[in-house]
Amino acid sequence: MRETPTSLSVEAVLAHLEQMTVPLSDSEPVALVQALDRVLAEDVISPLNVPPHDNSAMDGYAFNGQSLPQAQTLQVVGTALAGQAWTGSVLPGQCVKIMTGAIMPPGLDTVVAQEMTRVQGDQLHIPAGTLQRGDNCRLCGEDIQAGNIALKSGTRLGPAACGLLASLGLPEVRVTRRLKVAYFSTGDEILSLGQAPREGAVYDSNRYTVHGMLTRLGCSVLDMGVVRDDPALLEAAFRQAAAQADVIITSGGVSVGEADFTKAMMKQLGDVAFWRIDMRPGRPMAVGRIHQGDRSAVLFGLPGNPVAVMVTFMAFVRPALERMMGMQRPALPLLKARSQEVLRKKPGRTEYQRGVVTRDTQGQLQVITTGLQGSGVLSSMVQANGLIVLHHDQGTAQIGDWVDVMMFDGHL
């Protein structure tokens, strides 16, 4: 167990986490339909050119564009349909009617859209100045060339990437194994759903927010329920979690009042640091490794308050898990919006306020808080569409000041 004597800035915590977490090395093949939101474990080299041949981008007429941009009159000698090569020959002064996606007949390099032309019998008239040579013709390999890297290892497979893999004819891809995350809530006052309400007790919301955020990330989740504030029960839960999962996420039990026996217990089980973080909400967090047999799992002991759980997850856990999942992508940029109210803030800590971003009458982004910012007010997370990030050194923001916002979309 390591004790941090002073508190750490958000940036320092992120730097520590970057050292502590490494990408999973195991991978597995999956069918492309199962690959959505998984992370590529290797570069994908294209086995073919996309598109596989020069083809028309329009319904129209294919011709040799060497005498453009002059007007032309050409003889239509046939029709090239998508899906079959046109086998006739085309002499100078001739053209071929062509459908979108059809292979360009040999020697032809330009397509004029049907609506730009006038046809009389088999004579096609193309007005002057409407086209350049090569227009409306998609070139073989212009999207991807055979032998080149089509997608890099570490790419998260979204719908576009899945479509691209399909365009290469690949029915299966190799992805990193799913990260297995066990999570539980702690606290004698925490009720699971289905239990009768009683005085002083609250229903467990953290397990549901954590479940949602982990599922969105594509983790495989193991819900371990609520564990009472009892050292023996907690120890058993940590051992069971470390035996089965890559990561353990807990909530509650790391604040000053409770930390002492948790700290002592974690000391026996692994190497855990208790960080006081210069942030609001979410000041305390336990981070480290829990050992069990020859395995060890990364632990994130999040605070108990429901908003603090979500904010610390977004700020720290998500980037760490993404790294472990092998994802390589630049962090999503923060947006800038004008504050519609005074945001009181002391320099020396990072604050995350729940905000609603809209456009003002000039079309500029503006942001207003959701009101009550208590770290237990989960409805503020529901109303908000992003977190206003007031950085470490920043002081109070005045009305009209530009502030950074981390939008939920893409982060939550």
Residues that bind ligand AMP (CB under 6 A): 185, 187, 189-190, 202, 204-206, 251-253, 255, 258, 303-306
Taking the least distance from each CB to Mg ion, the nearer of 143 and 189 is 189
Q: Kindly state the smallest distance separating residue 26's Cβ from Mg ion, in Å.
A: 35
In the DSSP assignment, the letter for residue 21 is -
204 touches, from ligand AMP, Mg ion, none (C-beta below 5 to 8 Å by class): ligand AMP
- CB within 8 A of 214, min separation 6: which ones? 181, 183, 221, 249, 321
Q: Give the residue among 280, 284, 274, 278 at the shortest CA–CA distance from 374.
A: 280
Taking the least distance from each CB to ligand AMP, the nearer of 64 and 251 is 251
How far is it, in rounded angstroms, from Cα 202 to Cα 114?
69
Q: Kindly state the smallest distance separating residue 223's Cβ from ligand AMP, in Å.
A: 12
Taking the least distance from each CB to Mg ion, the nearer of 218 and 284 is 284
Element at 184 (helix H, strand E)? strand 180-186
218 touches, from Mg ion, ligand AMP, none (C-beta below 5 to 8 Å by class): none
Q: Kindly state the smallest distance separating residue 368's Cβ from ligand AMP, in Å.
A: 26
Q: How many CB atoms lie within 10 A of CB 335?
A: 16
Q: Given the rule CB under 5 A, which residues bind Mg ion?
A: 187, 252-253, 304
64 touches, from Mg ion, ligand AMP, none (C-beta below 5 to 8 Å by class): none
How far is it, in rounded angstroms, from Cα 222 to Cα 409?
25
Q: How many residues belong to the chain? A: 412
Q: Kindly state the smallest distance separating residue 311's Cβ from ligand AMP, in Å.
A: 13
Cα separations in angstroms, 172 against 28, 30, 158, 164, 220: 10, 5, 15, 12, 20
Q: Kindly state the smallest distance separating residue 232's Cβ from Mg ion, in Å.
A: 17
What is the number of the residue whose Cβ is closest to ligand AMP?
A: 304
282 touches, from Mg ion, ligand AMP, none (C-beta below 5 to 8 Å by class): none
130 touches, from Mg ion, ligand AMP, none (C-beta below 5 to 8 Å by class): none
The partner residues of 292 in beta bridges, in order of sequence, read 295
